[in-house]
A and B are shown apart, each in its own frame.
Chain A
């Protein structure tokens, strides 16, 4: 099976712009979670989607949003970018997102905000 894929792999944006990141889960996986990883804060949970519905959300401002399509692919959007949004954005998929399932990570999108 192909793994989780994320596009683009690298992005450079300037403050105030917006960005959209894409994630395609492993075939058959319907749960997609997004994380932000920074050197100081580690991996922080952004949100989780299943069957096009957001089921949980982390403590991030409303500038961070996401959605999931009927084929389980997911996108996250960050509007009005700030310097502090520079990070590695990771998505992870699992079959149903139930507690105890292993999450499989994509390669990540590295975002640099100038």
Chain B
């Protein structure tokens, strides 16, 4: 059974701090990785995708991938109260299927 694991949180950080969200996956053959943000009562929206080892930056967001350790993370710099949401890690499982973690709830305290 392929799995994606995330700490459910809540992860609380003060405004302006760096929030670090982590995700591990079980399928060593996975090639595509995604971070989605989901506000309460809303549907997930894509923040970033990453396919190669290393860092990928987009504005205040940085995704980090380490395939050897089967680990993907999302850093949010200068966290804002509007970043408070649940962050979902998704892994491409091949055969037209994606596996999602249960999400980490982030609270940014003003």
Residues of B in contact, count (CB < 8 Å): 25
Interface residues on A, range: 20 to 34
When A42-B103, A107-B42 are in contact, do A50 and B96 touch as well, CB less than 8 Å? yes
Q: Are A45 and B97 in contact (CB under 8 A)?
A: yes
| Interface residue from A50, A56, A105 paired with B97 (Cβ < 8 Å) | A56
Q: Is A43 an interface residue (CB 8 A)?
A: yes
| Interface residue from B44, B92, B102, B103 paired with A100 (Cβ < 8 Å) | B92
When A99-B92, A105-B43, A105-B45 are in contact, do A42 and B100 touch as well, CB less than 8 Å? yes
Q: Whole-angstrom distance between the alpha carbons of A56 and B92 in the complex?
A: 13
Min distance, Cβ B85 to any Cβ of chain A, angstroms: 14
Q: Are B43 and A100 in contact (CB under 8 A)?
A: no
Q: Whole-angstrom distance between the alpha carbons of A23 and B22 in the complex?
A: 32
Q: Are A97 and B96 in contact (CB under 8 A)?
A: yes
Q: Are B32 and A99 in contact (CB under 8 A)?
A: yes
Which residues on A are within 8 Å of B, measured CB to CB?
31, 33, 35, 41-45, 48, 50, 55-56, 58, 90, 97-100, 102-108
